[in-house]
Amino acid sequence: MQLPAYETLATRMDAPHVLVVTLNRPEVLNALNTQMGRDLLDLWTRLTEDPEDVRCVVLTGAGERAFCSGGDLKERNGMTPDTWRRQHELFERQYWTLMDLQVPVIAAVNGHAYAGGLETVLACDFAYAARHARFALTEVTIGIMPGAGGTQNLPRAIGERRAREVILTGRPFDAEKAHAWGVLNEVFDAAELMPRALETAHRIAANAPLSVRQAKKSIRYGMQMELKTAFRFEVEAYNHLVATEDRLEGVRAFNEKRPPQFKGR
């Protein structure tokens, strides 16, 4: 997939179907500024409109200290309320576009994920992290509150009572707790993180892409419905796959005892 040369992101294809996206402002711990908001919104929108050959995304941060330290408070220092709100509306759009993205996104959390950084982790499909990473929603310590899904996605991940403690205290927690509580799927030594995240991404990318997208959609929207309606939604998503070439190829490959060659059709 051909992407622009983003000012705040580094992108590369890990052939043939995995896109690696790196938040690339290590000098400020990959803090989210206005330009990064624009870059991420552009990227997620392109992948929404036409993912082309991308079947899975791995999102990480540059350097070893931080995945993302949250909003860039140096840029925000002295902002008028109107400018702050307009910037936040940009951030909102990129977060919601990420959450609705049809392509799976794995967070490979290479370091600390605070405030909007943790909200980014929670907006991904699931996450792995380096053992030294720490996590927090620190917004209440500077006079605001989580505003990019933190008060909604964190309780859904770790339970309401624990999320209340995390959000209302602003207190950091370590990767082992994040794993035990359900924020993370796995914790690795730093050197293992990207190889393991890429291994999982390639495993997902080897599966039928239309099946992966429909399954992701069914989970995403079904979890917002009462159970019987969600069952109906799941069946509708399933039925879209019955007439696909990939379904025929998958069954044929199974019977011929060979790996399937999925085309996304």
Active site residues: 119, 139
Residue 133: exposure state from Cβ atoms within 10 A (0-12, 13-18, ≥19): buried
Q: How far apart are CA 262 and CA 209, in angstroms?
A: 7
Q: Which amino acid is at 211?
A: S
User: How far does Cα 111 stand from its chain's mean position?
Assistant: 15
Quick count: other Cβ atoms within 10 Å of Cβ 209? Answer: 24
Run of H or E including 106: strand 105-109
User: Which strands, in side-by-side order, build the sheet including 18-23?
Assistant: 9-14, 18-23, 56-61, 105-109, 126-130, 186-188
